[in-house]
Structure 1
Amino acid sequence: MSTNKAVALMADMVTFVKVVETGSFSEAARQLGATPSATSRSVARLEKALGIRLLQRSTRKLRLSDLGQEVFQRCSDVSSAAQSVMSISHQLSPEPQGLVRVSVPKAVGRALIHPHVADFLARYPKVDLLLRFEDRQLDLIDDEIDLAIRISDHPAPGLMGRPLISIDHLLCASPHYLATRGTPAQPQDLREHDCIYLGEEPGDARWKLQRQGKTVSVNVRGRYAVNHTGARLDAVLNHLGIGSLPYFTAKEALQQGRIVQVLPDWNFQSNYGGQAWVLYAPTRHLPPKLTAFIGFMAERLAKEPTLSERLRSTQAVAAQS
């Protein structure tokens, strides 16, 4: 049988499957939106093309012939394939729908992504979201992740991405601590203070500060190191020392005056700072559900205050006074 003839018979194959599944020409016709006579002609046309009898008909029921049983199995594959194609087409419809799986560093996910989840789900009622808070980098394919939010200077090789927000870090202390121990005037003064750092790697206790193209490195020490930003903030609030914090963790306490920035004229160069990117596998056709998540979070995070904006605001107030 030629390919063109086989293609022309595909509708008849699907009709044949429906007749066998329902056990009735009339019920098959009803489900297919056709007339019983048209459904009967469709099966007859398939029998004629194949040169075999597919169904044994009686007044009460239909029964497959021996060869009809084999043809039914093959035609069922055709029908299932057609349904699978339509399912893919449904997934690629313009309306975002389906599950979005996102990997994000713990602190960034909790402070910057999670607060916007309720509004995202409300805007896209057919989209489900799975957030995986992981500080280790997951592989998009092996770990079955659609999107990965990572802090980097640029997308990793082999991935595409969009920048979301700058992750700035700064040094902070409580007013009480500074009143007791003094306020550092230069980076080198940090050596005389209790400093609260991550403690995951030896380099975490080597703080780098930059100003006007000049970089100064200082080896700091302290009695407490912890790799959780919330815990470091608590330690600073409890007057344990000068802590390194991402701005999104420190901003509320800064606004309330419960902590203050240390060495505000210097830029603290953290190994964990940089641009937060949302990354995905290279593709010409990004599914609407992923486009929706990326666009929504980019829109929301664009409104988040950054450290540089805070510094400009502080400088403007100082200039007016």
Structure 2
Amino acid sequence: MFINMDETQVSSIKHSGKGLVAINKVKRDNLLSQPKQPRDRTDVKTSLMGTVCDCPALQPFLPQVMLPKYTKRCVPPQRFLDAYAITGGPFEYWHGSVGWTDSQIMKKRATRLRSIVSSFNSDAWIVLILDCSHVHLNVKTIAHLKRLGILVLMLPAKLTWLCQLLHVYVYSGLKSLIRSGQCALRLSSHDGSVPIGAWIDINAKAIREVIVDRDWQDSFAKLGAGDSVLDMNNQLRSYVAAEDVTPSLPTMDQFARMVNRPSHTVITARLHSMVVGGFLDLQQLPLNASPGPGAMVDLPYLPAASKRARPAPADDAPWEDVVRKYLRRRPSGISDL
């Protein structure tokens, strides 16, 4: 099965405060002023390690890992730990980091991922789609993935905006929903402020709606990770025709050019050997071979993720409202969502 993992900052997402405002004279005459938002010291630098797969039944179990950064890498107070716990699974909050992924966290994350997938389906091979970030593409991380029996599919450097599912279809909508949640909370507050610590619940609800409970199988197919390359979206087709896409393993020079690294170094040669070697080793196994087992965990029953609902407008809806809703839904930089 195909799985895509990547990181994004969620602590820097803030509602812009745009909207209708009174002119300066009206504000002066009526003593109007924007309420001062108290500093939320719990809203520390936090990144999300998001994970999506092409199996709707597995998607609700995939861990969505949050990395909050606290002073001196300490553990937060108990009241915040309780707030984290309320969000429930599959959210996991890993403390003691710098608020971003490093090689150690990446290895721990891969081990946890294999455990979940192995517990769900012990016969499933993982094809992990990663970008060329130095956190992902380094000898320690790739060697650990190879030991786990995880096949690695590297995306070309500087093309995550075009080829990586989380960047193309997920994170933009997620951040928009988080901003909407912040705005709704301000509107419901008597003084227009967001309560301390409210970001934890806002982020969790948005991640659950956008990532956890959604079926991403068709989105993988639109980016070439499906049963047929004919399902690729128009954005990809504008750069390469579907009939020109054929599966193959890259040579050393092709790999170096793809990941934007010099081809003559020992490090590049080791990375190429480990990434390509995983697929070559798989070719030598019989067709019914299973991957090495991971640590087994008990998975509760959860309904499978569902496709994104796009309800049709009512028959008597004004055409202006229908067009306006359509234009709001269109992305600014990527077409054919």
TM-score by length of 2: 0.24
**RCO higher in structure (CA 8 A, sep ≥6):** 2
Identify the structure with the greater strand proportion: 1
Rg larger in structure: 1
TM-score by length of 1: 0.25
